[in-house]
Structure 1
Amino acid sequence: MTEKINLEEIQYAFKTLQAVKATLSEKRWFPATSGNLSILVNSSRENNQHVIAITTSGKDKSRHTPEDFLLVNFDGNPVFPTKLIPSAETLIHTSIYQSVPDCKAIFHIHTIYNNLISHFYNHQGKVTFKGHEMIKAFDIWEENASISVPIIENHAYIPKLAEEVRKVIDPKVPGVLIHNHGIYVWGDSDFAAKRHLEAFEFLFEYQTNMLLFKKNNETL
């Protein structure tokens, strides 16, 4: 399998992940080494050969080192011998890649706003946004369009969490919220995944502030 991955593909994937990591780190979306990123490097479904580049576990994402990323297969195991440990949530990434045929990049972050939204709407199992211009970022162009983001419980056992993510994936909704944990988003390119992530975070921040605004008005 490894001979089918050329050095240029690996370098491009690592360079792309580094640029995304730098951009999201500047937004302070990786507190306390949280979060993880991946890009599909090579996928041959006919031969069941899949390789992704993913962030190394426990790294400070505000810094750049030669050990920030590694290659793993869809079993979550390193493709080459290495002392590096892939993200603890690698199986969630591989589960999404297997469930979304055109998925080429997956980003996961923990923010105050996505945690608050997952808490406020956890009892509904989803949060719905309607009539926002930002919904167009998801290629939804209908007038007064809506989008509902699934919310699942945060299971400590990662294979269980990965399976729960897989169960709620909606092809039209490139994201899943995990209760008091964070959000996973994806796209058919790193550009699309980043666009989706920024759009979701805008909607979460808007909705959180709207809820607080309503609450404050009720107490006046």
Structure 2
Amino acid sequence: MSVYLLEDRQRAFGELMEIKELLASRGWFPATSGNLSVRVGPVLDGQFRFAVTASGKDKSVHTAEDYLMVDENGQPVEATSLKPSAETLIHCEIYKATGCGAIFHVHTVYNNIVSDLFGDEGAIPIQGVELIKALNIWEEDARITVPVLPNYAEIPRIAELVAEAIVPRVPGIVLRNHGIYAWGANAFEAKRHLEAFEFLFEHTYRTRLLGR
């Protein structure tokens, strides 16, 4: 059984509060959308716990009921009236497939537009942009493809596609006309990756407008 200390739980809640406040200030959580999670404690025999944002909360404000703890199947592990965010199952699959420490999911205009532009191709191609280096990809004129998954109404249908879709060196996937999931070894790295993806998506969109 995966275990965690109370102080680890509170530290995770604090990290989520800080990143939620920052990303909300950028307008990346419109209409209560998006969700954030941080893994708490070790992974033991495939079992783990993570702190995740509660469903239906206005992420531009802070309350005492913004987060809860869930297990590797997305089920609450403490007595609570809160429900985890709707896409928690997708977080579960990303943790299982990557062993990462944090996952951030936001909805922006740019990630929605480019996911639709390249949705039929199944991936967003990006090449030769400096911010690719923020993903720990350092070769000259690097090219990446960010996977795009269909935005099914039934979250389990999406979740079962996640593991196979992940590109090991690209710490993100996009749901078509929905939003980006970016992850990292910890909250700092996940934030850096998320910001890099959002820059790359805007760059891709504006480059298309220029006919390039």
TM range (shorter): over 0.9
8 Å contact from structure 2 (residues 119, 176) kept in 1: yes
Displacement of 1:207 = 1.2
Q: Which amino acid aligns with 2:135?
A: F
Task: Give 1:73's match in structure 2, choosing from 67, 71, 75.
Answer: 71
Mapped to 2, the partners of 1:171 and 1:77 lie a distance apart of: 27
Correspondence 1:8 to 2:7? yes
Aligned to 2:120: 123
Which of 188, 199, 203 matches 1:191?
Answer: 188
* Structure 2 residue identity aligned to 1:175: G
**1:163-209: per-residue Cα shift (whole Å, max 9, x none)?**
11222011101000111011111001111110010001001111111
1:43 Cα deviation (Å)?
2.7
Q: Measure how far apart 1:136 and its partner are.
A: 0.4
2:140 maps to which of 143, 160, 177: 143
- Calculate the TM-score normalised by the size of structure 2: 0.97
Write the deviation string for residues 105-151 of structure 1: whole angstroms up to 9, x where unpaired: 00000000000000111111111111111110011111111111011
CA distance in 1, matches of 2:125, 2:77: 39
The aligned length equals: 212
Alpha-carbon distance between aligned partners in 1 of 2:195 and 2:147, rounded to the nearest angstrom: 17
| 2:59 alignment partner in structure 1 | 61
Please tell me the residue identity of whatever aligns with 1:97.
Y
Q: Which amino acid aligns with 2:59?
A: K
* 1:11-45 alpha-carbon deviations (Å, 9 max, x no partner): 10000000000010011000000000000002332
C-alpha distance in structure 1 between counterparts of 2:126 and 2:43, whole Å: 36
Q: 1:65 Cα shift?
A: 0.5
Q: Distance in 2 between matches of 1:31 and 1:202?
A: 18
1:1-220 to 2 correspondence within 5 Å?
Answer: 1=1, 4-46=3-45, 48-101=46-99, 103-214=100-211
2:37, 2:52 within 8 Å by CA — same for their partners in 1? yes
C-alpha distance in 2 between matches for 1:140 and 1:206: 18
Identity rate, percent: 51
> What per-residue deviation string (whole Å, max 9, x for no partner) do you get for residues 69-127 of structure 1?
000001111111110011111110000000002x0000000000000000111111111
Larger radius of gyration: 1
SS at match of 1:209: helix
Task: Tell me, yes or no, if the aligned pair for 1:42 and 1:49 is still in contact at 8 Å.
Answer: no
Q: How large is the RMSD of aligned CA atoms in angstroms?
A: 1.3
Ranges in structure 1 where 5+ consecutive residues have no aligned partner: 216-220
